Amino acid sequence: MIAGNWKMYRGPDPRALREALGDLPHVVAPPFTRLSDCVAAGLTTYAQNVHWESEGAFTGEVSSPMLQELGVTGAIVGHSERRQYFGETDLGVARRAHAALQAGLGVIACVGETGEQRESGDTETVLRVQVESIGDLCGTHENLVIAYEPVWAIGTGKTATPEMAQEAHAFIKSLLDVPVLYGGSAKPENAHELLSQPAVDGALVGGASLDIESFVAICRIHS
């Protein structure tokens, strides 16, 4: 799976992107305001977040049934920016993932360590807590994918070496037997080396997914 996370950017024209992708497998996760446009263009469309309840007094949230009504087929949960800026917890991320899976959505659940945690030698401890909290509620669900995104590589231009990615992915898979994507400044220039690692099953692409040519190039490398 190659998934493009548009974050809080309007992103490229969905129809132009769909035409450029051709038959290449892909996922795009645009802001909520562009979900319908992406679905209408025929793109495989995920939301950037989803709540664990199907409805209720949860201002600013969106539920699985609401997403499905639009034709959205999955959701990202637990992105490091959600954890860092909006206080999302391991338990909350697991609950979001579980509810979405139960509703029939695909889920990309994000995990990863900060630069400080890596430098202090706590990477595996952090990953174990995050992954096991998801695994305890969701198990090895067929529609669950984990995205390993070292927080120190998100939007910084820094990228984990292929060896670092392989080590982290292999560790995650030892805890939960599901596909694992790499997220963290993935771009055409480094995608081939990262995606060639045996434990790397795809990528969650940030900035490069906003450029049609770059995103298509990464999808083509993986295919």
pLDDT at 156 over 80: no
Active site residue 116: no
Domains of the chain: 2-222 (3.20.20.70)
Residue 149 bears catalytic tag: yes
Q: How confident is the model at residue 167 (pLDDT cuts 50, 70, 90)?
A: very high
Active-site pick, 51, 81, 149, 169: 149
User: What is the share, in percent, of the chain residues with pLDDT greater than 90?
Assistant: 88
Residues in CB range of 33: below 8 A, 6 or more apart: none
Instruction: Give the model's confidence band at 168: pLDDT under 50 very low, under 70 low, under 90 confident, else very high.
Output: very high
- pLDDT value of residue 185: 81
pLDDT for 67-117, tens place per residue?
Answer: 999 999 999 999 999 999 999 999 999 999 999 999 999 999 999 998 889
User: pTM (2 decimals)?
Assistant: 0.96
79, 98, 169, 222: which one is catalytic? 79
Residue from 194, 192, 189, 196 nearest 213 by CA: 189
